[in-house]
A and B are shown apart, each in its own frame.
Chain A
Amino acid sequence: MKKEKLILSFIATLFGLLVAGVLFYLFQATKTITPNNTKTISFVSPTPTSIPSVFLTVDRPKDEDVVTSKILVISGRSTSNAVIIIMTDSFEDVITPSGSGDFSTTVSINDGQNIVEIIAIAPNGESATIKKTVTYSQEEF
């Protein structure tokens, strides 16, 4: 008896769901949308920003480094056809990176704080600049 009741209620639920589904489909199919209620969505493709023709990364020295030698190694990476200019308070040099874009050189620095400016210039004139502060000190504290 209990089993029969269970089966019957299950069938009734299924039937109810089926009827509701059919009714919902019919309602959606007959529904009309007025032009006033419609919205046009347009996707604007983003304007591509021009990729700079030169990049520059400096591995050494680290910014705000305190060093105990007046000879400073400067190394990093840039575009292989770029020209690298290194300028300190009293020194300037122009070098070219290797085929892989790596560059390395040594510069001399003064006592105390020094600003080391590294500039990479591409053949079309575009440039990238990195400034580092390097302090020469032998003080113990």
Chain B
Amino acid sequence: MKKKSFLFLLLVISYSLLVGTAQAATPTPVDKIQEIRNQLITNIASRVAQLKLVEKRGIIGKVTDVTNTQIVVTDLQNNTRFVDVDELTKFSSPTFKGTYGISDITKDTTIGVLGLYNKESRRILARFVNVITTPFITHGGVAKIDSENFSINITTEEGKQMSVDIEKLTRTYSYTQNSGYLRSGFSKIKENYNIIIGGVIDTKDKSKVIATRLIFFPEIPASPKVNSMLEHVQK
């Protein structure tokens, strides 16, 4: 009798164990939902990381080296930047008639690059590469005025001497504390005034600028650094 009851008990225990493991092995709908949820979370997290790693950026730089798949440029902050190009990259130049491609880009050309910047590799995968001309802006003090030729000589912060041609189309402005920002004229410019010039550099003479706009400040003298150089020039 004892033996029978023991066998019965053993049977019950093994059956319950079997059922238990079988249930654990078969996933319930709740488990499936949980699994899908976890997978989704992983996918979204990896996509977010990918999106954060790459961002749209636009740079301007001077070409220092060019190959079939890469352009090396020096940007405005004098940093070397690596630009990757692929079959999706579009090239353009305002002066070029016909199809413009990477083989047309030469050293010392100023280009604008719009593409995807990878924060990890610090490279830009270019989508658009355009040849551009950047405006020339300089700041300094008025060293000499040539009223006959409508030109002025300026000394920049870097100690450069430049001749600035003022044309009829040049937009001339002055700024004073009381009057504010006003349209002005060539005759109002005096020596030692602080001045900002915007224009284009003469292709024949690199020390000559053709001004398209200028702002001078009658109340602000040229910076002390420029002033010492101005005295030397005026002597």
A residues within 8 Å of B by Cβ? 63-66, 83, 85, 87, 89, 92-94, 112-113, 115, 117, 119, 121, 123-127, 129, 131, 133-135, 137, 139, 141
Contacts and interface: CB of A to CB of B under 8 A. Distances in A.
B123 to A, nearest CB: 13
Contacts of B224: 124-126
A85 B58 contact: no
B135 A89 contact: yes
B52 to A, nearest CB: 15
Given A83-B220, A112-B130, A131-B76, A92 B198 contact: yes
Contact of A125 (B117, B215, B223): B223
Interface in B52-80: 56-60, 75-77
Contact of A94 (B157, B215, B221): B215
Contacts of B130: 112-113
B196 A141 contact: no
A113 B226 CA distance: 31
Nearest to B112: A113
A113 B215 contact: no
Interface of B: 56-60, 75-77, 88, 112, 114-117, 127-128, 130, 132, 134-135, 137, 139, 141, 157, 173, 175, 180-181, 194, 196, 198, 213, 215, 217, 219-227
A90 B69 CA distance: 34
Please give me the 5 A-B residue pairs with the lowest Cβ-Cβ distance, nearest first. A135-B58, A113-B112, A125-B223, A66-B56, A64-B57
Given A92-B173, A135-B58, A137-B114, A83 B132 contact: no
Nearest to B174: A94
B149 to A, nearest CB: 25
B194 A121 contact: yes
A129 B139 contact: yes
Contacts of B77: 63, 131
Contact of A64 (B58, B139, B141, B221): B58
B57 A139 contact: no
Contacts of A66: 56-58, 114
Which of B88, B115, B137, B222 has the most C-beta atoms of chain A within 10 angstroms of its own C-beta?
A: B137
Given A83-B175, A94-B215, A135-B114, A115 B58 contact: no
